[in-house]
Structure 1
Amino acid sequence: MVTVFMIFNLARADSVLVEGESFQELGGWGVDQQFMDIMGSPFLIAHGLGNPVKDAITTVAFPETGEYRILVRTRDWVGTWKTPETPDNFKAVGTPGEFELIINGKKLPLKFGGESAEWHWQDGGKVFVDSKQVVIVLHDLKGFDGRCDAILFTTDEKMLPPNKGGEMAEFRRRLLGQAEQAEEAGDFDLVVTGGGIAGICTALSAARLGLTVALIQDRPVLGGNNSSEIRVWLGGEVNKSPYPRVGDVVRELEPRQRGNPGTAEIYEDEKRISLVEAESNIKLFLNRRVNEVQVESGHIRALMARNTRTGDRMRFSGKWFADCTGDGTIGFLAGADHEISSKGHMGSSNLWSVRDAGVPSPFPSCPWALNLKGKDFPGRNQSVGQWSKPGLDSLGRWFWESGFNWDPIADGEKIRDWNLRAMFGAWDTLKNTDSLYPNHKLEWASFISGSRESRRLLGDVVLSKEDLVGARQWNDACFPCTWSIDVHTPNPLFGKGFDGNEFISTANMGEYPRPYWAPYRCLYSRNIENLFMAGRDISVTHEALGTVRVMRTCGAMGEIVGMAASLCKKHNTVPRAIYHKHLEELKQLMKSGIGR
């Protein structure tokens, strides 16, 4: 049995708080940090595709034996769609996410995860703890994405733990025994937040040009949408004239094979980590999510990041900062000017795949999923998605996308869950209504969303569709755009009955003279003087995002940001001054490149 290592789970003699993500053995449960800024914490998710996942187990030190109340922070993730007003084809019946709690070998009589649509503290009754070393087991019942945030044991009969905001954060910090002051991670030349292709290229570029760099990523792997967790292939082209060396670092990160979604090994997660760790000027911080920015007079001084497994906080001081989060998180927290489309924006996808198992592979009925029994969707009845073939080739591809009219930040969990309901509803229909694919099984699905659009931070230039189509030239042109103006909207062929809640998209491809070299002035904030950005959160309009958002293009942005940051250090200046005073030096670096 695992011995206790989290003594900070104990702070008060009558209360013990156990965070789900801190379990010593996760078993088959995954850590989901995507929505912690909204609901308050990372949580464990039982993403078993219909097969109950292996138990999560941890051992915790209790102050005393005796009787304790138990409260579990959880939710019924389909409860949102159980109201009387919910249309029939949206309505969820049943509870997919139930799990049990086992304390020192004793299973509690209640099931968790089916009581309320909102995150809440579900009353688990009482348990007698007869040992100060307590083994806690999370036992998944269904394999359909049950969720456990935290477990509270208390002898206080009247305690009502806070459930939102700063009050809940302070409650958790106090019970976990965490320090009020964050640990100092160090003082860096450049702090890069976001470990996707843009962030990796930013960090490598800056480090190779002599800067000390912190690279902060909130997942255990690097690569973002091109990691094994999300599995989107790299789009766009680099190494184009007149700066053929721009893109050399992107090429170093390229997987040798292409798959969409493909299997995990295709994405070579370990190669990205090895490249970063080979640079002595980079310190890599995985599993850390930035949730606070310290700003003085429009100048970022430091970031605060929380460890998504332990909850510990670290403070990152720096001279310059790069927002490569995709969501513009650093800029938003710093008060940077930004735009976000509340409706009519591109959605998010959670890719999925099936395979022939070679043996009969039944799949349970999913009455809580989208009811697609009377609907066509890509992969059913010869219906296809854009650029795909009938049948299995149309399942789980990029066009399984939703959230076009929901807030991409505040409704992120809802968007992901709608994608899951569409996937499970489609597979239930094919297997159990149409009696197809008797030997096929769901092989993989991402519970981490692949996002396309959220916040866009505003720079001195906001690149527009008109700039692209009109071939507007810039004296600070620095990264090549080669992808079509690819803006996704709901596919009208599959939207009937799901108006405003569509889950299949179409790509609207606009043309312009390519390659188009976009300006450096899109890559820094217009009002936060030491903030760069690279990735899909740069300074563009909704339409122009359609071309710049693909990952090779984002990586090229990162290379330029690293170069510009090196000039900021050389001249002790801010990103804007590189354009006004040192543009020719930047162009020389672009000609030379910084690839290996």
Structure 2
Amino acid sequence: MSCFFQLLKASLLAGLMLLFTTGFSPSGAVAQENQGKQIFVEAESFADLGGWKLDTQFIQQMGSPYLLAHGLGKPVGDAVTQIDVPAKGVYRVWVRTFDWVARWDASGHPGSFQLSIDGDLLPVTFGTQHKRWAWHDGGEVQLDPGKVELRLKDLTGFNGRCDCIYFTQDLDVQPPQPGGVMSSWRRKQLNLPAETRQVGPYDVVVVGGGYAGMGSAISAARMGCKVALIQDRGVLGGNGSSEVRVWAKGNIRRGEYSRIGEIIEEFADRATKSPGTYEEFGDSLKEQIVRAEDNIDLFLNQHAFDAIIKDQHIQSVDMLNTKTGEVVRVAGDRFVDCTGHGWLGVFVDADREMAEDGRMGMSNMWAWDEAKTAQAFPQTPWALDLKMQDFPYPRDHHGQWFWESGFDKDAVGDAEGIRDWNLRAVFGAFNAMKNRDGAADHRNAWLTWVAYVGGPRESNRLLGDVVLTQEDVVAKRQFPDGFVPSTWSIDLHYPKEQYAKSYPDNPFISKAVHDNRVDRTFGYPVPYRCFYSRNIDNLFMAGRNISVTHQALGTVRVMKTCGMMGEVVGKAASLCVQHDCSPREVYEKHLDELKELLRLPGKARRAKPGAPISIDPGALPEAPAYGPFTGRDPAKMKGIVVDDRNAQTAGKWSAGRTGGKYIGYSYRYASPNSGASAKYSIKVDQPGRYQVGVRSAPFDNRSTSAPVQVICGDQDVTQRINYQGTQDGEFVPVTIVNVAKGQSVQVLIQSAETKGLIHLDAVQLLAQ
């Protein structure tokens, strides 16, 4: 028998040069030292991964990517590679792995696998020891020089995992724990060059390839910036990719800057469910759109793990090739943290915070289907011990968003544990369906998909010059740099009570608690000052790690909203390049220029920042400020009709659409004596006499006597009106005013001294 990778002096030099210049080693990330006494193999470097998956989610926690046997209960195909053994001898084999359910003292070893060396299986079964990542002793083997085949042979299909394999002729020495990401020990084993290869400098370096990262990169590139986009997975989209399958939510293309969202529209998924199907998420389309931009260098399967900073100014980030182990330094002038967890901000000690408790968790959704014949599923004694009554039945064959856990766990440091608990919940539920009290109804059921890449919702939030609050959103506090419309309600997740009682340490089913005071139709414009760091002078952020409170995160965290943040950041970064200024100075000195860029079509572009703008063919027409009308169009009605969207409001108003008899987009209502008020200011071009009317409502709970004040010049009239109206609704006359050319009419709606709700829908000026 022979095993592993030999590099004689000449081939060693050639191999290192190839690794240095291209990041690719023909036999993968394999090294040997001391003339063959030690040989090291990274599992992710295997030439053929077979059915094993490359898992890159937890590199910051355990130091490396690894291979995962995610087979949904069926053993996956072997991962295979060939190596060269330089010298004959007896080697001890060590495999870095662990028993992933042992931390909960669960029965069985679902992550079991074996190692085959040139067709001979080692007698040791790996994945059966240790509660955390550690070296598992595989025993001694006799190896002869020459080429040798290695195979990772999965035994269960239930998420066995392998980080690396180590052969040593020092039979009594156990290798050390590798330590952090690309530790000195691991670098030595891989024979990585002492000097890190550098690329760039780039105008903008974007870390994270989800919706926010794609929006940032494409927007900056089309404005003439040279962009690096770094993504640690092999696909783009983040939570909106086929790996996680959270459908993209949040309304786009509305508000004062209704062009924002046009870039997101180009690649957003068309899923009709969450989780949807693989095809609906369009991984290849996302990559195609990014690669079509000449100004973007796309780095897939690259994990940013460190950064160099001087005087609160980032100079570069280091990224690890998750397949070859090569480390490359990416130099840049501006950086955008779109990692979700705020990793880049962590590396450079940006001001940040994380909710101490009550954080939203991580989801791992799943799906099943019905075959024409009976389907077997293995017993899962190591999974959560569930019966059908212990979990929500997967409606529509989908385990949806509420399969979520980790609420008070370490969202960053124990992310792998949270994901693994989710897997125990999913497999325990399907075991109940197949092998317990649900068996009679699910003979033909089979698992079609379970997300092994987690969908986290909350962790680090990086702090900017504005920290957006729940009250800001609900009260629609106006900021001069409010650009990105957030149309999701303040949607916070908590453990559902019955599961919190049954599994108090880590409930696995959540509930959503909504603050419905958010204007979901038209949105709240999130300010630009939430998108850059207050203490790192060249750091932007976009996505769920922006500068908001825990409560405000509930509305901004959905994918299309995050993507629109990226569009704003990309254009702001181009102004930083054009004026050699910081993100803060864009707000202080160049805000009007940013506003002009945000009014451009998504397919606007220029050769470099500051150059003339051109518009690509196929640019979308500008959308109405609030999207298409859902009620009657005020422009098609008699007289001058002004919708409530154009009124200045104070106090608490609730939106409604019941009956569909409203003007524009919706109506609003407020409680009596609540302090709520609204003011219309209507400029009239043609002088004359005008009857002023307010829209009523066909609801019995509306006030029959509410004050409305009309002011025009020295005319000041207050009348009490009946808002209950007729079944079709109507404009109730208030008064008649004489209006001079260019004069404005003010109409004030008040809740004081009323009984019943006051109604806010539209005001009409009708020439007499």
TM-score normalised over the length of structure 2:
0.73
Are positions 1:421 and 2:421 aligned together? Answer: no
Partner secondary structure for residue 592 of structure 1: coil
1:582 to 578, 590, 598: 590
Question: 1:167 and 1:351, CA in 2 relative to 1: closer, same or farther beyond 3 A?
Answer: closer
Are positions 1:498 and 2:503 aligned together? Answer: yes
The CA distance in 2 between the partners of 1:264 and 1:395, in whole Å, is 14
Counterpart in the other structure of 2:655: none
1:223 to 206, 220, 237: 237
Counterpart in the other structure of 1:11: 32
Question: 1:550 and 1:564, CA in 2 relative to 1: closer, same or farther beyond 3 A?
Answer: same
Are positions 1:328 and 2:349 aligned together? Answer: no
Which sits farther off after the overlay, 174-183 or 442-451? Answer: 174-183
1:103 to 117, 120, 128: 117
Deviations 1:64-104 (A, max 9, x none): 1221110000000000011xxxxxxxxx1111010010001
Q: Please tell me the residue identity of whatever aligns with 1:568.
A: C
Larger-gyration structure (1/2): 2
Q: Give how far 1:418 is off.
A: 0.5
Counterpart in the other structure of 2:50: 27
Q: Which has the higher contact order (CA 8 A, sep 6+)?
A: 1
Q: Give how far 1:178 is off.
A: 1.0
Counterpart in the other structure of 1:516: 524
The CA distance in 2 between the partners of 1:376 and 1:501, in whole Å, is 14
Counterpart in the other structure of 1:393: 396
Whether the 8 Å contact between 1:10 and 1:61 is mirrored in structure 2 is: no
Are positions 1:296 and 2:310 aligned together? Answer: yes
2:580 to 561, 569, 572: 572
1:361 to 375, 380, 395: 375
Partner secondary structure for residue 471 of structure 1: coil
Partner secondary structure for residue 372 of structure 1: coil
Within a 5 Å distance, the mapping from 1:229-378 to structure 2 comes to 229-373=243-387, 375-378=389-392
1:186 to 163, 177, 200: 200
Partner secondary structure for residue 183 of structure 2: helix
Deviations 1:75-134 (A, max 9, x none): 00000011xxxxxxxxx1111010010001111111000111111101000111124211
Counterpart in the other structure of 1:387: none
Counterpart in the other structure of 2:678: none
The CA distance in 2 between the partners of 1:202 and 1:585, in whole Å, is 18
Aligned residues: 575
Q: Please tell me the residue identity of whatever aligns with 2:431.
A: D
The CA distance in 1 between the partners of 2:299 and 2:181, in whole Å, is 27
The CA distance in 1 between the partners of 2:276 and 2:388, in whole Å, is 30
State the identity as a percent. 49
Deviations 1:520-548 (A, max 9, x none): 00000000000000000000000000000
Q: Give how far 1:584 is off.
A: 0.4
Counterpart in the other structure of 1:412: 415
The CA distance in 2 between the partners of 1:217 and 1:426, in whole Å, is 33
Partner secondary structure for residue 294 of structure 1: strand
Deviations 1:486-524 (A, max 9, x none): 000001133222113100000111122341101000000
The CA distance in 2 between the partners of 1:401 and 1:306, in whole Å, is 30
Q: Give how far 1:563 is off.
A: 0.5
Q: Please tell me the residue identity of whatever aligns with 1:6.
A: S
Within a 5 Å distance, the mapping from 1:84-99 to structure 2 comes to 92-99=106-113
Partner secondary structure for residue 399 of structure 1: coil
The CA distance in 2 between the partners of 1:524 and 1:412, in whole Å, is 26
The CA distance in 1 between the partners of 2:181 and 2:285, in whole Å, is 41
Which sits farther off after the overlay, 474-483 or 159-168? Answer: 159-168
Q: Please tell me the residue identity of whatever aligns with 2:513.
A: N
Deviations 1:165-188 (A, max 9, x none): 259821121111111222112210
The CA distance in 2 between the partners of 1:117 and 1:342, in whole Å, is 26
Within a 5 Å distance, the mapping from 1:38-53 to structure 2 comes to 38-53=61-76
Partner secondary structure for residue 212 of structure 2: helix
Q: Please tell me the residue identity of whatever aligns with 1:558.
A: G
The CA distance in 1 between the partners of 2:321 and 2:123, in whole Å, is 33
Whether the 8 Å contact between 1:523 and 1:534 is mirrored in structure 2 is: yes
The CA distance in 2 between the partners of 1:177 and 1:81, in whole Å, is 38
The CA distance in 1 between the partners of 2:196 and 2:286, in whole Å, is 28
Whether the 8 Å contact between 1:259 and 1:266 is mirrored in structure 2 is: no
Whether the 8 Å contact between 2:271 and 2:277 is mirrored in structure 1 is: no
Counterpart in the other structure of 1:560: 568
Which sits farther off after the overlay, 289-298 or 150-159? Answer: 150-159
Whether the 8 Å contact between 1:457 and 1:539 is mirrored in structure 2 is: yes
The CA distance in 2 between the partners of 1:354 and 1:39, in whole Å, is 32
Q: Please tell me the residue identity of whatever aligns with 2:463.
A: L
The CA distance in 2 between the partners of 1:63 and 1:7, in whole Å, is 16
Q: Please tell me the residue identity of whatever aligns with 2:200.
A: G
Q: Please tell me the residue identity of whatever aligns with 1:441.
A: W
Partner secondary structure for residue 546 of structure 1: helix
Counterpart in the other structure of 1:470: 475
Q: Please tell me the residue identity of whatever aligns with 1:21.
A: E
The CA distance in 2 between the partners of 1:392 and 1:551, in whole Å, is 24
Q: Please tell me the residue identity of whatever aligns with 2:194.
A: E
1:80 to 103, 107, 122: 103
The CA distance in 2 between the partners of 1:168 and 1:551, in whole Å, is 31
Counterpart in the other structure of 1:485: 490
Are positions 1:113 and 2:116 aligned together? Answer: no
Counterpart in the other structure of 1:433: 436
Q: Give how far 1:164 is off.
A: 4.5
Q: Give how far 1:242 is off.
A: 1.0
Q: Please tell me the residue identity of whatever aligns with 2:113.
A: F
Which sits farther off after the overlay, 423-432 or 207-216? Answer: 423-432
The CA distance in 2 between the partners of 1:530 and 1:516, in whole Å, is 26
Q: Please tell me the residue identity of whatever aligns with 2:534.
A: R
Whether the 8 Å contact between 1:217 and 1:286 is mirrored in structure 2 is: yes
Whether the 8 Å contact between 2:62 and 2:180 is mirrored in structure 1 is: no
Counterpart in the other structure of 2:158: 144
Q: Give how far 1:7 is off.
A: 6.8
2:191 to 177, 181, 189: 177
The CA distance in 1 between the partners of 2:213 and 2:99, in whole Å, is 35
Q: Please tell me the residue identity of whatever aligns with 1:583.
A: L
RMSD: 1.6
Are positions 1:61 and 2:84 aligned together? Answer: yes
Whether the 8 Å contact between 2:116 and 2:151 is mirrored in structure 1 is: yes
Q: Give how far 1:395 is off.
A: 4.4
Which sits farther off after the overlay, 322-331 or 512-521? Answer: 512-521
Counterpart in the other structure of 2:544: 536
The CA distance in 1 between the partners of 2:270 and 2:340, in whole Å, is 25
Deviations 1:544-585 (A, max 9, x none): 000000000001000000010010011100000011100000
Whether the 8 Å contact between 2:113 and 2:125 is mirrored in structure 1 is: yes
Counterpart in the other structure of 1:456: 461
The CA distance in 2 between the partners of 1:180 and 1:335, in whole Å, is 26
Are positions 1:525 and 2:533 aligned together? Answer: yes
Counterpart in the other structure of 1:384: none
- 5+ residue gaps, structure 2, are 6-24, 604-618, 620-768
Whether the 8 Å contact between 2:261 and 2:602 is mirrored in structure 1 is: no
Q: Please tell me the residue identity of whatever aligns with 1:411.
A: D
Q: Give how far 1:48 is off.
A: 0.3
Q: Give how far 1:255 is off.
A: 2.6
The CA distance in 2 between the partners of 1:493 and 1:124, in whole Å, is 44
Q: Please tell me the residue identity of whatever aligns with 1:289.
A: H
Counterpart in the other structure of 1:548: 556
Q: Please tell me the residue identity of whatever aligns with 2:240.
A: N
Whether the 8 Å contact between 1:326 and 1:536 is mirrored in structure 2 is: yes
TM-score normalised over the length of structure 1:
0.94
